[in-house]
Structure 1
Amino acid sequence: MEEQLPTTLTDRPKVLLVDDEESILSSLRRLLRGQPYDVLLATSGAQALEIMAQQPIDLVMSDARMPNMDGATLLAHIHQLYPTTTRILLTGYADLPTIIKAINDGQIHRYISKPWNDEELLLTLRQALEHHHSEHERRRLVQLTRQQNDQLKTLNSTLEKHVAARTSELQQTADMLDLAYEELKHSYVTGTEVFSLLANLRLPPAKQTNRQIIELVRVYCKLHGLDEGTSRDLTMAAALYNIGKLSWTDSMMITPSDMLHHIDRDRYREYPKQSESLLMTLDPMKDAARLILHHQERWDGSGFPDRLKGEAIPFGARLLKLAVDFIELQRGLILERQMNSDEALVYIRSYSGRLYDPELVEDFIQVCAAYLSDVTLADPSVKVLTTRDLAPGMILARNLNADNGMLLLNAGKVLNGPLVDKLIAFETMEGAKYSVFVKIPEEVEALLERETS
C-alpha cells in the first residue's frame, strides 16, 4: 500500500531513544530537553516496536548491545516496517560485524560511538531530522507529481490554455524536485564530514587527519575547476577513507604503517576494502567508495588491494593517495619520524613514478603551496641539497632538524665552511641523511659555476 503523506509538516518531529540501560536514557533525555522535537523512550526492541505501531516516529536512535533483540536487528525490522523512519546506531563498542549488519540490513543513517560528545550528538540529530524532512518533502513532491500527471490524463485535449497552465505547474514541480535532490546530495556530503569527526575521536588530536585531507582535496578541486560530482565524491572519500580502521586497537591506530608486523600489517592492507564494503550499500557513496578502495594502489603496480598500475588507477584515487600520504607523513602514521610539510613533499617527489602519478606530483606540490603558508619547496629560489652539496654563503630557507627532532640550525642562518663541516660530521655520526632547504645568493651561485667550469 502506498504511504499517505501529510500535506504539511507543522507537527513537532518525534524521536524514539532505545537503550536497555535506564541511566543512558535519563542522560539522553536531559541532554535533549528543550530541543524542538518530542522524545520518547523504550528499554527494549520489543517496546520500541510497540510504540511505533501506535504512532508515527521520525527518528529512532538505538543502542547496539541489548538483550533479546540487539540494535542492528531492531533497526533492520524498522527498515522493513517503517522504511521512511531515519535510523541511527549508538554503541560503545568498535564492533565491525554489528556496524556492517546495521548498515546492510538496517541501512542506518549514522553511527555514533559512546561515550558521545554532547554537541556532536545534538548536531547529528539535528542534521538527521533535516535529512528526514528533505526526504519527506521529496516523497511529497513525487506523489504530487503523480497526482498531477493523473489529472493531466483526464483533461480534454481541446483545453489548450488549461493544458498550458498545467504544464507550467509541472515544470515548477520538476524544478522543486531537482532542488530537493540537490539538497539530498549535499546532505550526504555533510553527513560524511560529521561522521569523519566522530571517527577521529578514536585518535589523539596530533594523529587526526581527515579534516586536513578534506580541506586539501577541496583546494585542489577548486584550483583545477573539477566538476561538482567529482568534487563531491573526492570530498566524501577524503572524509571516510579510513573508516575501515575503526575496529583496530588503539595502539594499532597510532602505529606508523612501516612499523607494523605480521598480522597487523595484513590487517592494515585490508582497510581500504573494509572501508569500501561499509559504504557500497549507500547509492550516493558508490563512486566515493571506489576511490577509497583504490587509494593505496601505487603507480608502479606494487600497491593494494588489486595491484592496479598507472592510469588503471582511478584519477580520484591517485589524487587521494597524494593527499593522504602528505598529511599522514606529517602525523607520523607512515614513517616513525614525523615530517614537516616540505620534507613530506620531498619524500613524495622522490617516489614520483613509483608510488605516485608523475604528472600529478608537481601539480600537487603547487596546490600544497596554495594550501599551506609554510611550504617553501614551491619557491623557485629554494633548493634542496645534501650536506655535501652545501657551500659557504648559502642561507637556510627553513629550520634544519635532526631525525630525533632536535633543532640544529634556524632558518635564515648564513652557512660558512666550519659549519658545513660540522653538519657533515654530525650527519655521519648519526647515520642520517639530511635534506637541507637553502637559498643561494647570486654571488655564491656565480662562484660555484666558475669552480665547476
Structure 2
Amino acid sequence: MSAVRESRTVLCVDDEKHILSALRRLFRTQGYEVLTEESARAGLALLETRPVDVVISDMRMPEMDGVEFLEQVRLRSPDSMRLLLTGNADVRLILDAVNRGEIHRYITKPWDDHEMSLVVRHALERKALVEEQRRLEALTQSQNERLRELNQSLEAKVAARTAQLEASNDKLKRNFLTSIQVFSSIIELRCAKLAGHSRRVADLARRLARRLDVDARDTQLIFIAGLLHNIGKVGFADAMLEMPVSRMNGELLGLYRRYPERGEQLLMPLEELREAATLVRSHQERFDGEGFPDRLAGLDIPLGARILALASDYDNLQIGVLAEHSLRPEQAAKLVIDSRGKRYDPMVVAAFEELTSGRVPVEPKHDWARRVHELHPGMRTSRDLVRGDGSLLLSAEHVLTERMIRQLSEFEKLTDTVLTVYVNLEGATQ
C-alpha cells in the first residue's frame, strides 16, 4: 500500500475561530491542504464545489449540530472520512453520530496534536485502501468480462463447426483450462512467495480426489477450484499479501476472512465456473465448524472444499502464508495429520497420509522426456511445462508446431536454461 498522498484535503468546520486556526496550523505542517468553515451550512456548500478527503466537525454549532452536519456529509460526499470533535463525553450524542453520520472516529477537546495527527493519518490510509481496493476490483471485473467474451466467442466457433464438434470441444476444454491457469497467476505475479502455489494446491487436490475415488468430472472441478481458490485476494494490497495470517488482527483479519466469499462473487458470473465458485467459497471452512465464511461443519462442507482446505494449508505452511516461519514438508504434514477431525475431514487426512507416506504406488507415466532440440511438429505434450518460478509456459495436451518449438528454443537461449518437455508415447520415438 502506498503512503498517503500529500495532496489530501482536510475540511475543518467549527464556529470558534481559534479552534480553526489551531487545526490549520497543525495540518499545514504535515503537507495537507486545509480548508476551514465557521458553519455547517458553509461546509456543505463547499462540498458541492470540490472533493474533500477528511471532514472534521465540532459537535456543538449554531443552526446545525455536528451529528446532523456529518449525516449530511455522508449523504452528499460518502467517500469523505468523517471525524467528530467534541468537548464532552456524552455517549448518547456520540452513538447518534456513529449511527447517523457513520463517523470514523471522535476526538475530545482539548486534543493532543500527536494523537490528532495519527487519527487523521489513519483515516486517510483507510480511505486510500478503499480506493485501491475499488480500483483492483474494477480491474478484475474488466478481466472477468474479457474472459466471458472470449468464452462466448469460442462457443460460437464450436457451434459453427458442427462437423468437427468432438475435436473442437477437446480444444475448447484445453484452452479454457489454460486460461484459468493464466488467470489464477494474477496474484502470484504480485507476491514472490505465492509463485506456483495455486498449481501445487490444484495438483495435490486432484491426487487426493482420485485417491478418494471421486469421479472424473468432479475431480476436474476440484482441480479448477484449486487453481482459482485464491482469486478473492486480488483486491489485497501488496503488503497484505506478504503478511502471514498469524500477524493479522482487527480490521485486517476481517478483510482477509472475506476473500473466499469475494472469490465466489468474482467467479459466479461465468456459468462454467459456478460449481467451482462454491468450492472456492467453502475452502476455508473447518471440519469442526470453526471456519469461515459460513461456519459449516462436517459433511455439510462440500467434499471438494474439504480436500482444498487440506491441500491449501499444506502448501501455505511451507511458504510462510499462515505463520512467519516456513515449515519443512514433513513438519507441515505432521500439523495437518494432527488436525484430523478438527480442521480437516479424517477421511481426507487418511488419503493424504497414504499419498505422503509413499504407500500409494506412483502411477506410471506413459510419456517420454525430451529436450527442445529433440521435439518434432505433431508431438503432443503430456504434462504442463512450468518455469522454475511456477509460471506456466505450455499446458498439457498441446500439439506442438514448428513455430512453438522455435519459440521454446529461443526462450532457452534468452534465459540460459534447459527445458524438459514431456510428450505422449505415440508422438515420440526413443
TM-score by length of 2: 0.49
TM-score by length of 1: 0.46
